[in-house]
Homo-oligomer: A and B are copies of this chain.
Amino acid sequence: MDVVTFGETMLRLSPPGHERIEQAGELDVRAAGAESNVAVNAGRLGAETAWLSKLPESPLGRKVAAALRAQGTTPEVVWSDDGETRQGLYFLEQGGEPRGTNVVYDRADAAVTTATADELATEFVERAGYLHTSGITPALSETLEATTADLLELAQETGTTATFDVNYRSKLWNPEDARATLEALFPDVDVLFVAERDAKEVLDREGDAEAVARGLTDEFAFGTVVVTRGDAGALAVRNDDVFEQPTVETETHDPIGTGDAFVGGYLAARVDGGSVADALEWGAATAALKRTVPGDVALVTREEVEAVLAENDSGIDR
Q: Which residues of A contact B (CB under 8 A)?
A: 13, 16-29, 58-60, 62-63, 66-67, 69-72, 82-83, 86-87, 89, 91, 93, 95-99, 102, 104, 106, 108-109, 171, 248-254, 285, 288-289, 291-295, 299-301, 304, 307-308, 311-312
Contact = CB atoms under 8 A, between A and B. Distances in A.
Contacts of A251: 96-97
A250 B67 CA distance: 29
Contact of A60 (B59, B91, B95, B291): B91
Given A17-B294, A66-B70, A98-B288, 16 more contacts: A13-B27, A18-B294, A21-B62, A22-B66, A22-B299, A27-B27, A66-B71, A66-B72, A67-B70, A69-B72, A82-B104, A86-B108, A95-B292, A96-B252, A98-B250, A99-B289
Contacts of A59: 20-22, 91, 93, 102, 104
A104 B29 contact: no
Contacts of A25: 25-26, 28-29
A292 B99 contact: yes
Given A83-B171, A108-B109, A293-B18, A304 B99 contact: yes
